[in-house]
Structure 1
Amino acid sequence: MSEPAVITSKSGRVGHLLLNRPRAINALTHQMVGILQETLDKWATDPQVETVLLTGSGDRGLCAGGDIVSLYHDARAGGSAGADFWRDEYRLNATIANYPKPFVAIMDGIVLGGGIGLSAHADVRVVTERSSIGMPETGIGFLPDVGGTYLLSRTPGELGTHLALTAGSVKAGDAIAIGMADWYVPSEKLDDLITGLATADPKEVLTGLAEPAPAAALLASREWIDECYAGEDLAAIVEALAAHDLEAATKAAETIRKKSPTSCAVTLRALRTAKAFATLEEALDQEFRLAVRISRAPDFVEGVRAQVIDKDRNPSWNPPTIAQLNADDIEAFFAPLPDELGLGKRANSKEKS
């Protein structure tokens, strides 16, 4: 018999959630979302569990995102499995953000997309020298979801806009600098961290193990990023990047032009809107609306095909360029759905300090 996709256990004062699909870098399935939600609901009132710990099995990463292959097949068939998955996934993200007990996420290795939703909303977020954290969705015709628009809209300056539109990733130092992580612990000390959590408060354990974070390379680029990414006009942003004297800026323009124009336009507007939201839940409500609609647009199926199914890395976007985007078409993605999440109406998100 195969091992379960999520292994739950208790040790001392810790309830341990282990994502267990190492060959897929622990990509998140709907079943896994259900197991995590059910377990967290139980542990919320379990006196034995004082701290929750989230880790990933294998040595490649915590979680490479959602299981987009199954979402691709569902979208091609015109099914509703995608909407069902995102509905439950986003509720799980909100549960983690508002969990009544300390939630420790070890963001070791690759942490992408849905993995961000499981970890970056936690109380205690630990990165290592192996961490690579990002939201690559514009490259597959989707958008940064799982609360990604909320997190990226709150980074210093326009760093989040840059990462979202270019589908970029960051290492440990920048992850802390932009507010997606809190503590830097070398991977060789992770076993000591996990052992220590069984008997002591997370911050007490981390104080003895954490080290100064590496330099934040992206943070040093704020001047040109803030200058070029200002405003709400995607075409103007790309033009500003292309006209800049720095090679990093012109490369960013080239990168964005290769992404889905529709996804980039939806993402930019979603970031600007999310910045004004008071809670994570409001952003998740908006992301659910956008995820359902964008998964039915042609670029999602085409993007996953090109990147994951056929792997030719040559998507045919529709429309193919930013100049051909229609403002009314982008506006339509944001219209209310008949069946909304409604998370923002009944929950208060906890800000990360």
Structure 2
Amino acid sequence: MSSVVVVTRQLFRVQRIFHHLRMSSTAATQPEVLLEKQKNVGVITLNRPKALNALNLNMIRQIYPKLKEWEDNDDTTMIIIKGAGDKAFCAGGDIRAVTEAGKTGDRLAADFFREEYILNNAIGTCPIPYIAFIDGITMGGGVGLSVHGLYRVATERTLFAMPETAIGLFPDVGGGYFLPRLGGSLGMYLALTGYRLKGREVYKAGVATHYVESDKLPALEEELMSLKQSSSQKIDELLTKYHKETKREMPEVPEFSLEPHMDKINNLFSPDSVEEIFEALMEDGSEWAMQQLEKLKKMSPTSMKITHRQLSMGGHLSLQECLQIEYRMSQGCVRGHDFYEGVRAVLVDKDHSPKWNPSTLEGVTPRMLDSYFEPIPLSYLPAKELHL
């Protein structure tokens, strides 16, 4: 073999190595959120597909100022938010980072919730049409990025849930505002049990405003951007057109799995306390009621009781008032026990055997419950009241 061939092959190998290094470096430095102005449309793309587009503080701090900038720009006709990849819109907030910070007293545990709720409020008060493509997993923080906007487009891949009572938290990001407004006791049921809504159910429950097949989203986005008059009426007409053209993905599957149980949900989840809900389920005694009771027994007693009060209050409050209360609640959870234990059991060790404290509903005293809704103690330095 000639020396020229050897050198050529060595150079080729070096070039390949540098190519892989550049590719790795590019992948490692991919922005976590893409913020682009396309024509007159602001487009937000959550860009952490491997992490199911989970929301962290860095992303919040990029989205909020851009959202406000687009709002103030007269030529911005709408804002679209979507997730990269085909698995998730946004699977939630970076809760593990928050609990790690909370253990050490790092201010991230205060800043994350504060800035996330400020962003939720900005979405809820956005003066121009805000359209969320909730294609894939949409939970926790992902709900906060979508449900307060004017339009939410679900697909057959959408999986919606607020599973916070299973990790010692509560359905925050404005859950106290939108869940009681789903009608009847559906919001209370979803909040306490963490029940998962799938596909068309997300629309049927009132969480989404429209339902479109996932493979039609690119065409829908292109048409939205091409609207000559992008008023709310024109946007609604276009979304409705796509919604009506969408086929039933599986005709043999009911459009809303909870439909047969709605009477029981409205009756059994309407009592004035979690203890009374447990009693109502016991008295009903049906197979479905017993299944719900067993599910609830696995949840944090503290989380269930603060969630029940949160939703009972929230149906009569503004979004801003709900978020202010939820910020107090979030910091109560950071100061408590169950939030850390729930995250450990579900997300860290994954043994799904949390040791709640208190371990019973009766153990969560009225005084303990009140403490989650009272002004944040001045002695708790990382946090202060949320003002919107």
Alpha-carbon displacement from aligned partner over 1:168-218 (angstroms, at most 9, x marks no partner): 221243322333210010111111111111111322331331136872222
| TM-score using structure 2 length | 0.85
Any conservation in 2 of the 1:174–1:219 contact (CA below 8 Å)?
Answer: no
Q: Following superposition of structure 1 onto structure 2, how do residues 1-353 of structure 1 map, counting pairs within 5 Å? A: 1=26, 2-200=29-227, 201=230, 202-211=235-244, 215-277=255-317, 279-337=318-376, 338=378, 339-343=384-388
Question: Which amino acid counterpart does residue 327 of structure 1 have in structure 2?
Answer: P
Task: State the aligned residue count.
Answer: 342
Provide structure 1 residue ranges, at least 5 long, that are not aligned to the other structure. 344-353
Q: Structure 2: how far apart are the matches of 1:121 and 1:64?
A: 17
Contact 1:55–1:62 (8 Å) recurs in 2: yes
User: Sequence identity, in percent?
Assistant: 38
2:7 match: none
Q: Which residue of 2 aligns with 1:347?
A: none
Assess if the C-alpha contact under 8 Å between 2:135 and 2:158 holds in 1.
yes
Could you give the per-residue CA deviations for residues 104-123 of structure 1, whole angstroms, max 9, x where no partner exists? 00011100000000000111
Q: Is the 8 A contact 1:142 1:295 kept in 2?
A: no
CA distances 1:227-257 after superposition (whole Å, capped 9, x unpaired): 1112222112012113324322211111111
Q: Give me the whole-angstrom Cα distance separating, in 1, the residues matched to 2:170 and 2:181.
A: 16
TM-score by length of 1: 0.93
Which segments of 5 or more consecutive residues in structure 2 lack a partner in the other structure?
Answer: 1-25, 249-253, 379-383
Match of 2:115, SS state, is: helix
The match for 2:13 is none
**1:16-64 Cα deviation digits (max 9, x unpaired):** 1000011111000001001110110111122442110000001111001
1:77-131 CA-to-partner distances (Å, cap 9, x unmatched) read 1332111111111010010111111110001110000000000011111001111
Question: Shift of the alpha carbon at 1:325?
Answer: 2.1
Contact 2:155/2:200, CA 8 A, preserved across alignment: no
RMSD: 1.5
Structure with greater Cα Rg = 2
Counterpart CA distance in 1 for 2:202 and 2:341 is 30
Deviations 1:302-329 (A, max 9, x none): 0000111111111100011223221211
